[in-house]
Structure 1
């Protein structure tokens, strides 16, 4: 099987200029970058966004990198509300602001030749019931998918602990509500699987394989939503990487350490060394593992930091 293609998320390189981050990642041997649209790198609100995007496209080509366009900038739309507004906001104008960001992301992704656009649902606004939030989410994602279809860019929805779409079951509910459109796929965060899914991460990969458009990876502990450098959590990585290879996943596997920018270059170096070593540790022809998960989070439980504060 071919080797996996690794990327590093720019939300973990916030102290670097993008013009410095891209050659760094290329020099370390990464295949791509998880490019979060935010003020410090590619600002989606910049009046000259098209020009800046063209410059980034040129740099990606120069360094031989592929991109996933990510939309999880904490305060990119509202300086007072983390990840606000969302597609769940009671105010239609506020929801339109988030939809506008996602539509820009689709255009940027098309111009960069990115392999997917990432998004998530958002948390339930205060006083909002789930039965009111779901139609808003379906309408918003549906509008973005229309743009994705026109641009030929897949949309990869990430289940985020504490969000309306918080797990794989939530993703499948959204997929069914939209009629299973072909360009709607999944961003599978391996740490989130360890955090709260009933199955172990390698089993999550196998069950989610038909919908994988993007993969994020980091270490994590059961029941605690905290993105950790590799080796500081509980995940057994060789079975996860073997499952991705067995699924013939050809997209990017993006290291997601959003709180480690203070040590970004070193984290990028040690992360790819760890992942390559873990991939080499997979026995040739290894059979998929199916070990039962331990320490299962009870149905309906919210893990520590499950409001998304770790991201």
Structure 2
């Protein structure tokens, strides 16, 4: 299959969303990984519905596909990065994250998005409640159930991402969650190619091969073994041509989105060099 490349707005936070989308279309991207955040389609804005319609029109005019991403650092709590999470000891705090994800599913449906990305969060530090892995997995499954229900209602799949340092950190952890939830059809996987290089026991190529049946979203960047740092292409250790070839061979029609969330200061230039790199090293160009 042909690969469809996108770029994440979390790497373009110094640009207005309208300008970021125009830039990506001009550079030849086919889509965007849209992180819902205060500067780019704020999910807590009172006029969210109207803003969503405006963004949907802009995406349509530019011919861009979209995946909705939910990794904004401080969208719910201005003092806690990614807080509260789906594993928070406070049930009301967990419910706030669940509500945000349900809202993201509805936004994604209105945008015609391929999927909604999310992640588990880290196991909270001991707070006297006896939290361990078993309790954490139960919390995650319970907190995700309304999100799965929303995905079923709208037809927009959920794509949970294995994240280094989180409860759900590996592809094996994804399968554990899938089993806990009874293998719901809307639950799929976000595969981050850099994370595969960082900590998976298998190579990035084998990760793509193993994950192919559950792929609903793909993020891509360079990375080094054992170091969770998103790097521009060529600055890490990944051999990309075979990875891109395996992605093209997979039965996956969604976006492959460049994720460089700490490089917004150079976002426009990195968006340009990234698409050039991906086109140069993808199977169709060789």
TM-score (norm 1): 0.89
Shift of 1:3: 2.3
Structure 2 Cα separation of the partners of residues 238 and 141 of structure 1:
35
Structure 2 Cα separation of the partners of residues 269 and 117 of structure 1:
25
Structure 1 Cα separation of the partners of residues 141 and 48 of structure 2:
28
| Residues 168-219 of structure 1: per-residue CA shift (max 9 Å, x gap) | 1110100111111111000000000000001110100000000000000000
Structure 1 Cα separation of the partners of residues 17 and 10 of structure 2:
11
1:194·1:235 contact (CA, 8 Å) conserved in 2? yes
Matches within 5 A, 1:25-36: 25-36=24-35
Shift of 1:131: 1.4
Q: Which moved more, 1:66-75 or 1:273-282?
A: 273-282
Structure 1 Cα separation of the partners of residues 183 and 283 of structure 2:
36
Matches within 5 A, 1:146-161: 146-161=149-164
Structure 2 counterpart of 1:163: 166
Structure 1 counterpart of 2:46: 47
2:244·2:283 contact (CA, 8 Å) conserved in 1? no
Structure 2 Cα separation of the partners of residues 95 and 151 of structure 1:
22
Structure 2 Cα separation of the partners of residues 275 and 108 of structure 1:
29
Structure 2 counterpart of 1:61: 60
Residue 10 (str. 1) matches residue 45 (str. 2): no
Specify the SS of the correspondent of 1:220: strand
TM-score (norm 2): 0.97
2:248·2:283 contact (CA, 8 Å) conserved in 1? no
Structure 1 Cα separation of the partners of residues 99 and 9 of structure 2:
21
Residue 78 (str. 1) matches residue 86 (str. 2): no
Unaligned runs of 5+ in 1: 284-311
After superposition, the CA RMSD in angstroms is 1.0
Residue 193 (str. 1) matches residue 192 (str. 2): no
Structure 2 Cα separation of the partners of residues 122 and 248 of structure 1:
28
2:120·2:140 contact (CA, 8 Å) conserved in 1? yes
Structure 1 Cα separation of the partners of residues 249 and 284 of structure 2:
15
Residue 38 (str. 1) matches residue 37 (str. 2): yes
Structure 2 counterpart of 1:173: 176
Q: Could you tell me which of 214, 218, 230 is aligned with 2:217?
A: 214
Structure 1 Cα separation of the partners of residues 12 and 66 of structure 2:
15
Structure 2 Cα separation of the partners of residues 234 and 141 of structure 1:
34
**Moved runs in structure 1, 4+ residues, more than 4 A?**
280-283
Shift of 1:281: 7.7
- Which structure has more helix as a fraction of its residues? 2
Matches within 5 A, 1:152-301: 152-280=155-283
Structure 2 Cα separation of the partners of residues 176 and 245 of structure 1:
28
